[in-house]
Structure 1
């Protein structure tokens, strides 16, 4: 954190509050927090300040992603997951830091990691917070309560056929963290102390699998409820007792209804309901309730590619799920950005067809831009898309006292873009400056020490 005053001068300020943008603005920051934001004529720049010239450009809050898996969760569900974990075992916190740097390179100053290996993600979080590593600020949930590890039925049990049981069990235990699928076999009085102990391990929020994650076995249309009503109630009670946000994983209308009934703070991928339309009565309760919906859309062109190729992921955001998204926007549901994106192995990206790379929603670093593009295509205004990636995320996770808007007192996280994002929301991709904690980031040099994204990996065979 710097003690020098930072001044971002001359840009049009889109401050994250949803009002009219302010032309020729100045934002001042000192000791990592914003001290002033307003018209240039009303906010003098102190002598000796470090100045970022934003003339003719646009200032926005640093983007905040409400749902990532910095160790790539999509890969854990199929091809590439086993080699990824084997290659980087013992250094997973470094992979997470690399992913956090990729997110920061794209202008995301804060990410909420809602499923990951507990010890590595907390290690990376703490190293970044202490300044020992660079990257987007991480808030972490660790495991999803009630889910197994990467080689369980919840992700890629089929990988066990080609890897050692010793390795698979070790990885599952690392991710399971003592709160996996076996909890669903226990009575409430035995679940309570386990959840209480898990919450005491330093997680920033708790995410519960209200429905299962057996997509690899059952597809998009067969989710089961993970816990009994009694056990789910205990999990919710302990989360409230700990004072952290309650997140829900749901894949059906009934599991989504339970999330609403328990007043979840954030309902992850709330539009995914096993290809069943969300009933209008439930939609109205969602809109009227206190919770926020994290939505994972695809762009029109990407969805057409998935549909045309009969891709296994066509049901992810298409069909009834796409209509759920359109209806949520029209109904005024409180929406936040989330993508499930992570640090994908280039070996996996290398074999994808070009049509599957453009607008890929799970590619970290550009995922928030693809999300905004998709949501605007479905009826969201560019301003509301920006709010869904900034202030709304901060509110949903109860972090709005510090983040999400460019107003005095908030942490000085901001981006400067070269073209108007209200004219074309994908202009947020045109970064000229990224500031985190009041310090300009040399974002073009990130990640600093790539392991996953250093490619190709074959060693130079030439003798020296």
Structure 2
């Protein structure tokens, strides 16, 4: 088939009746030499555009390069020579965001897994040293991978130095805290990431300096900081629901006093982290409706966003045998899976299993209550936690958010429009509209009927490049093969959420 002349295509487009923007890209001299080879038309699918509006049937979506330039139903037939993909019977969504991502320095494994699962953008929650160069290579088209918004080094208190790799920013005084924020700004970090062992004084110093420097503040609400104080400090997002079970409990003051009076063991700071998590498991049993309503109202008014990471909740509340049975381990290097298993400990007793499942059910109800209160929640997977798989786990997360009470549409928004807005990219990403990035997910069945239909992937479009079902299957096969020959790193891999050397007991 001959490639259409760009001038002829532009003439057709101007009379097509489609909603247009960005058509100037068609007339740029640099691209005119390519003819119409970067014009792609997706025709006949049902568009779920990420705005929250009703699906649009039999939609035509015109892509030029890495942008969407037109959407609608054309008045007349497409001219010959245009590359058209027939999507009748398919459903088109915006490319997904993972709002709590960790991409290890394994570009032949993690990067294709994100894209193969329709995750075209990620918010990297730890500014690991390899990420800026990886992002540059992706942006330059040297390697295929998602768009990245990258955090600062993880900032934590003095005890963290004995439990996390040296690429964390360990702060001991308010001045060190402020200096860490300034260093993050100078290094080009997109936002500041904090962790759990920060004392309130250090947290306040980081928050004040971050706002002074124009950097959003996200991460773990420090264990000794109540949720309301995190709101007042202007946290943009709070991860994993940390602190919320404590502060919606009728025994809140008792639990907070215990947290504040319990010292951190410098030789084993992770034990303190899990001590607080155990208190949260106890606190959720005394859920106080009125207290919860007041807290959720404060979150909504402040526009503080929560990332529940149900993937993490499940890891800590399901027994080791459950995770070890996951067939997706074939996409991970055997040495990595072995390290996961070594840290998980022995199999649980029936009582431990029941305690874990009771807490998981309570967290699902908590997610539903937060949603009913109209607090924005994002989909995130935390792929540094064992048995989380880049891309796959974000897809899982959508299903678990719906299990918790979100509608399928709300779950889709949690992985499309809402994260794009939260990171300041709503004008470019998160919805399928003219002028936005050409990042799309095409699935075989209606996700508004069953959210897990987002896993029935027909095709992915990233930066205007169409990845067909056959190409996706080749990508996954290549990842599985690569995993078998990938050697372990020279230095220990980063860990998140205290998952090295300890596994929650109930």
State the TM-score, normalizing by the size of structure 1: 0.73
Q: Which residue number corresponds to residue 132 of structure 2?
A: 122
The answer to whether the aligner puts 1:232 opposite 2:189 as a matched pair is no
* 1:234 to 1:42, Cα distance in 2 relative to 1, 3 A: farther
CA deviations on 1:387-436 (whole Å, 9 max, x unpaired) are 11111110111111111000011101001101111111111111111001
CA deviations on 1:24-43 (whole Å, 9 max, x unpaired) are 001111131111112x2458
Q: Which residue number corresponds to residue 399 of structure 1?
A: 425
**Equivalents in 2 of 1:316, 1:141: separation in Å?**
34
Matches within 5 A, 1:434-445: 434-441=460-467, 442-445=471-474
Q: Which residue number corresponds to residue 47 of structure 2?
A: 13
* 1:33 to 1:317, Cα distance in 2 relative to 1, 3 A: farther
The answer to whether the aligner puts 1:288 opposite 2:301 as a matched pair is yes
**Equivalents in 2 of 1:152, 1:127: separation in Å?**
31
Q: Which residue number corresponds to residue 484 of structure 2?
A: 455
Say which SS state the counterpart of residue 141 (structure 1) adopts: strand
After superposing the two structures, state which structure 1 stretch, 241-250 or 10-19, moved more: 241-250
State the TM-score, normalizing by the size of structure 2: 0.67
2:101 to 68, 72, 75: 68
**Equivalents in 2 of 1:300, 1:111: separation in Å?**
20
Task: Answer whether contact 1:299 1:377 (CA < 8 A) is retained.
Answer: no
**Equivalents in 2 of 1:5, 1:130: separation in Å?**
20
**Equivalents in 2 of 1:131, 1:437: separation in Å?**
10
**Equivalents in 2 of 1:17, 1:325: separation in Å?**
22
**Equivalents in 2 of 1:316, 1:66: separation in Å?**
26
Query: If you compute each CA radius of gyration, which structure gives the higher value, 1 or 2?
Result: 2
CA RMSD, Structure 1 to Structure 2 (Å): 3.3
Task: Answer whether contact 1:5 1:31 (CA < 8 A) is retained.
Answer: yes
The answer to whether the aligner puts 1:58 opposite 2:91 as a matched pair is yes
Q: Which residue number corresponds to residue 56 of structure 2?
A: 22
* 1:301 to 1:239, Cα distance in 2 relative to 1, 3 A: closer
Q: Which residue number corresponds to residue 195 of structure 1?
A: 181
Cα deviation, residue 365, structure 1 = 2.4
Say which SS state the counterpart of residue 310 (structure 2) adopts: coil
CA deviations on 1:12-71 (whole Å, 9 max, x unpaired) are 000000011000001111131111112x24586454332221111100000001001223
* 1:192 to 1:372, Cα distance in 2 relative to 1, 3 A: same
Q: Which runs of 5+ in 2 are unaligned?
A: 1-30, 246-279, 320-347, 488-506
CA deviations on 1:357-396 (whole Å, 9 max, x unpaired) are xxx6x22221122111111112110011111111111011
Say which SS state the counterpart of residue 81 (structure 2) adopts: coil
* Corresponding pairs, count: 379
* 1:145 to 1:343, Cα distance in 2 relative to 1, 3 A: closer
**Equivalents in 2 of 1:431, 1:55: separation in Å?**
14
Matches within 5 A, 1:66-105: 66-71=99-104, 92=105, 95-96=106-107, 98-105=109-116
Q: Which residue number corresponds to residue 69 of structure 2?
A: 35
1:419 to 445, 453, 459: 445
Matches within 5 A, 1:313-324: 314=356, 318=360, 320-324=362-366
Cα deviation, residue 8, structure 1 = 0.8
Task: Answer whether contact 1:11 1:56 (CA < 8 A) is retained.
Answer: yes
* 1:407 to 1:190, Cα distance in 2 relative to 1, 3 A: same
Q: Which runs of 5+ in 1 are unaligned?
A: 72-91, 156-171, 213-225, 345-359, 459-464
